[in-house]
């Protein structure tokens, strides 16, 4: 099976690597020349545990190649995955510019029957739009070439992307074409044989499944964050509440961890996009809109709490541990750390920041605050002369820090544990003015 992946980012690169590992011949294409050059020189442009090893292994076996040549990628493959970004427009709707560009290119270079698989998260109706654009390009060429469109949304979690792609909870295949469905079964042969659940739906259902899933998870997080705010006021413990709620099989304990609000490359933009889709079709997405509002409130509440407990942050230095939106990724897109650091800087604080992988990304995303931020080499240098520390992201290495050593380097001893990783640590509670989330 010859497969092309158009867009070699977090999704495309992982998908390409896994498909090659499953035995397909994969062409990964991207317009970003630097990214492709890096990949051709064995430099992996994103941080994702285990990814480098799989790519190098399959490069050696000549099952994966990297190119900027879209014509080559389209002509040489039977199945073409679209995995380009779909960022949010100003009004919250999904920006389809890149997806539609790819569709146009496919229309220009398609040379025989192909299955076009949309892996990017796109609004309902995009599959049909892609189809029309390809047909229009074929008309211009005066040619008739058959193709089918499939929606195959991706559910990987950054930081665990490789495992999620190798062993997904389910594979959703949305298409009205029997022929395309059979080809997709072959594409995912390894998973099909391994009895991974497959869901075959129409295009529209598959397109909406992805938004519905992400929106639901965002709602869960915003829900527990709201309970956490109340729990702090009434003296209850959100960790215990979430544990107990999670024991109810109808609820499940996953995504019931309170914190600084959700972030990342998907939840913020996908929740806004589904609200925008709802508007287009005359349906208010009340629950999802409430989750978005609660998430913004949550970040504001974190800033207010730090300001309140430290009796003002003006002229003070605050250490921030972890910048990426979650551990084991360098992805900083819509990370809560960005809004929270900006908020603290606006109130007059200086920041010492440290993140194992997110600092390169953070530096340009927080360029507007660069005069107020010092990026540190490790967690201990981060602690030098700070008045308080905010643990933003629960990287494993922060769980094993020498907390006395941290404390000794600080000027004052405020510690805001936004991920509740030290709640059971007596030493932390003793030596710091310790503030977990959703409990006192
Ligand atoms: P990304 O920004 O990391 O990668 C997109 C890549 O597409 C970039 O390298 C970019 O240069 C390339 N590109 C843009 N226009 C192109 C074109 N015309 N031709 C070829 N390449 C082009 O994005 P991502 O995080 O991989 O997300 C891709 C899609 O998958 C999005 O729709 C996203 O919502 C969805 N998704 C992402 C995740 C995730 O965790 N990142 C999970 C599931 C689904």
Question: What is the three-class DSSP state of 147?
Answer: strand
What is the DSSP secondary structure assignment for residue 278, as one 8-state letter?
H
Domain count, the chain: 2
Give the integer Cα–Cα distance in Å for 415 and 149. Answer: 52
**Calpha distance 70→61 (Å, rounded):** 23
CA distance 276 to 256: 26
How many angstroms separate the alpha carbon of residue 175 from the centre of ligand 1? 22
Write the pLDDT tens digit of every residue in 142-201.
999 999 999 999 999 999 999 999 999 999 999 999 999 999 999 999 998 889 999 999
Mutate to test the pocket of ligand 1, among 49, 77, 83 (most ligand atoms within 8 A of CB): 83
In a domain, 105, yes or no: yes
Strands (E), 272-418: 317-321, 350-354, 373-375, 388-391, 414-417
Do residues 98 and 173 share a domain?
Answer: yes
User: Smallest Cα–Cα separation from 415: which of 344, 337, 309, 338?
Assistant: 309
Ligand 1, pocket-test mutation among 81, 127, 265, most atoms within 8 A of CB? 265
Residue that terminates a domain, selected from 201, 229, 257? 201
266 is a catalytic site residue: yes
310 is a domain residue: yes
- Under the banding of pLDDT at 50, 70 and 90, the label for residue 60 is very high
Q: Which ligand 1 atom is at minimum distance from the Cα of 35? A: 9
Distance CA 261, CA 418 (A): 9
Atom of ligand 1 nearest to the CA of 101: 18
Domain assignment present for 206: no
Q: Are residues 304 and 187 in the same domain?
A: no
Residue 208 lies in a domain: no
Cα 61 from Cα 333, distance rounded (Å):
34
Segment 112-134, tens digit of pLDDT: 999 999 999 999 999 999 999 99
Asked if residue 89 is part of any domain, the answer here is: yes
pLDDT classification of 104: cutoffs 50, 70, 90: very high
Q: Using a 6 Å cutoff on CB, does residue 83 contact ligand 1?
A: yes
Classify residue 440: in a domain, yes or no: no
**Phi-psi category of residue 309: left, alpha or beta, with phi > 0 → left and psi -120 to 50 → alpha:** alpha
Q: With beta carbons less than 8 A apart as the criterion, state whether 45 and 83 touch.
A: no
Is 105 found in the same domain as 50? yes
48 and 98 in a single domain? The answer is: yes
Q: Are residues 16 and 136 in the same domain?
A: yes
Domain edge (last residue) among 168, 201, 234: 201
**Residue 440: its pLDDT value, please?**
87
Residue 304 and residue 370: Cα distance in Å, rounded?
22
Q: Is the pLDDT confidence value at 50 over 90? A: yes
Identify the domain boundary among 201, 232, 247: 201
For residue 74, the model assigns a pLDDT of: 98
239 and 320 part of one domain: yes
Q: Is 39 helix (H, G, I), strand (E, B) or coil?
A: helix
CA angle, 217 as apex, 212 and 223 as ends, to 5°? 120
Domain enclosing residue 355, as ranges = 213-435
Answer whether residue 354 is part of any domain: yes
What's the CA gap between 336 and 261, in Å, rounded?
Answer: 6
For residue 256, the CA-to-ligand 1 centroid distance in Å is 28
Find out whether 425 and 403 touch, Cβ atoms under 8 Å. Answer: yes
Instruction: Pull the structure tokens for residue 330.
Output: 């360098």
How remote is the CA of residue 88 from the centroid of ligand 1, in Å? 12
**Quick check: is 336 in a domain?**
yes
Asked if 178 and 244 sit in the same domain, the reply is no
| Whether residues 278 and 370 fall in one domain | yes
Verdict on whether the full-model pTM lies above 0.85:
yes
Cα of 120 vs centre of ligand 1, distance in Å, is 7
Instruction: Judge if 134 and 269 occupy the same domain.
Output: no
Pick from 274, 412, 382: which is nearest to 322 by CA? 382
The total number of residues shown for the chain amounts to 440
Reported as a single tens digit per residue, the pLDDT across 208-229 is 999 999 999 999 999 999 999 9
Do 185 and 221 reside in the same domain of the chain? no
* 267-280 and 203-234 helices, crossing angle to 10°: 120
Q: Looking at the structure, do residues 163 and 57 belong to the same domain, yes or no?
A: yes
d(Cα 254, Cα 246) in Å, to the nearest integer? 7
**Do 218 and 291 share a domain, yes or no?**
yes
Please count the helices (runs of H) and the strands (runs of E) in the chain: 19, 14
User: What CATH number corresponds to the domain at position 405?
Assistant: 3.40.50.720
């Amino acid at each position: 099976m010859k497969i092309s992946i158009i867009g070699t980012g977090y999704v495309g690169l992982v998908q390409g690597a896994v498909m090659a590992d499953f035995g397909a011949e994969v062409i990964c294409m991207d317009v970003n020349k630097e990214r492709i050059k890096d990949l051709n020189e064995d430099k992996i442009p994103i941080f994702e545990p285990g990814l480098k090893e799989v790519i190098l292994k399959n490069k050696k076996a000549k099952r994966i190649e990297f190119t900027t040549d879209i014509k080559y990628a389209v002509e040489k493959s039977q199945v073409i995955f679209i995995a380009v970004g779909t960022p949010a427009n100003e009004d919250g709707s999904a920006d389809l510019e890149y997806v539609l560009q790819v569709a146009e290119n496919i229309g220009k270079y398609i040379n025989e029957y192909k299955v076009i698989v949309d892996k990017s998260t796109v609004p309902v109706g995009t599959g049909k739009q892609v189809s029309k654009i390809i047909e229009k390009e074929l008309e211009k060429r005066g040619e008739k070439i058959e193709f089918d469109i499939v929606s195959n949304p991706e559910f990987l979690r950054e930081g665990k992307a490789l495992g999620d792609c190798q062993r997904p909870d389910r594979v959703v295949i949305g298409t009205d074409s029997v022929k395309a469905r059979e080809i997709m079964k072959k594409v995912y042969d390894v998973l099909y044989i391994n009895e991974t659940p497959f869901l075959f739906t129409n295009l529209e259902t598959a397109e909406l499944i992805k938004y519905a899933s992400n929106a639901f998870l965002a709602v869960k997080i915003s829900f527990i964050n709201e309970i956490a705010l109340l729990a702090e006021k009434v003296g209850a413990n959100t960790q215990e509440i979430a544990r107990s709620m999670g024991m109810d099989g109808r609820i499940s304990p996953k995504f019931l961890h309170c914190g600084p609000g959700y972030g990342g490359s998907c939840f913020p933009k996908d929740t806004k996009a589904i609200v925008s889709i709802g508007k287009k079709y005359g349906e208010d997405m009340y629950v999802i809109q409430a989750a978005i509002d609660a998430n913004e409130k949550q970040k504001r509440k974190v800033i207010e709490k730090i300001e309140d407990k430290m009796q003002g942050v003006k002229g003070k230095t605050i250490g921030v541990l972890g910048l990426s939106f979650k551990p084991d990724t360098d992805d900083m897109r819509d990370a809560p750390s960005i809004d929270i650091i900006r908020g603290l800087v606006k109130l007059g604080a200086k920041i010492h920041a440290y993140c194992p992988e997110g600092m390169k990304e953070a530096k340009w995303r927080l360029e507007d605050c660069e005069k107020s931020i010092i990026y540190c080499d490790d967690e201990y240098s981060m602690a030098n002369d700070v008045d308080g520390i905010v643990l933003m992201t629960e990287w494993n290495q922060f769980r094993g820090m020498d907390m006395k050593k941290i404390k000794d380097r600080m000027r004052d001893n405020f510690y805001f544990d936004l991920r509740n990783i030290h709640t059971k640590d007596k030493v932390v509670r003793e030596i710091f003015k310790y503030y977990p989330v959703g409990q006192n």
